[in-house]
Structure 1
């Protein structure tokens, strides 16, 4: 997606050789037109896979996951990062570290919103080490649902997360692949 790459170059901030801040287009502010286009791209890539639900982790993946679910005409379910007072006691839960936040959190999905009959498409904003993605894959497996694939807006190819998922047999589609952030420059892999 050339429009996405252009937005990353214009609005992304390289914090270090490992961290790219995308607050201006994904993580704090959302460009609705670009987000809907990303949703269309993911929907096109997975349209023939019989997706019944799109799943993401709160909060940065929600906008793109919503756009994807809208294009596919299926519900969006997001894994929460905190239990609420109304949370059911039998939630699917996985403890995951967050690379960008530097903390460990639980991600939770109610069994009410994911079942063995579901064909799940996982959508997320960025994959670095892939800890949240692996945690969500474990939740999907425990639910008995089928994971048809993962759509990632930005894949950081120099970190291990995307390849680890691919090695698990997960079909992973990325809209932008970053090969390097060294020296403060954003270098795309393709």
Structure 2
């Protein structure tokens, strides 16, 4: 899709602004449950594709800032989980993602082992609940922060590095399908939102 490629090339001289947007997307994506509605990986990959047109140094800075944004979102989730405690597992924010994912997150953090905390942070869906689960399960801040920083750095390397390496090729191949993919994503999000609203209304009626 030449027009999309030309657009990416035209904003490559605004690399700093692109990095700020990527970092904010990573932060919101990592915060409690917001990753369901904010496609953080999509924003990061597209941003990395732009940075690849600018300079390798911008890509490296992008990795660092995305990792910072992601761990900032993790900290938000951890503080909420520590403040609310186990009842957060029954909240609407968790319900919107899935109670099964919450259980997986709790199982991963209950032994407070560093490697599982880092690994589970990479898993789609579960990742946005790991920090809150750490807070609710009483994981010490030192262990949580270590796992968050290392896990966020790995996540940033994967998505920023991947976007910088293959993003342009993917856009060249799938460019004409991107508008359809975007529309499909919007419809899926709307469908999930309406489904949750209808379920909540039925539950309230039956209560």
Q: Same fold (TM over 0.5)?
A: no
- Identify which of structures 1 and 2 has the higher relative contact order when contacts are C-alpha pairs closer than 8 Å and 6+ apart: 2
TM-score normalised by L of structure 1:
0.25
- The structure where strand makes up a greater share of residues is 1
Higher-Rg structure is 2
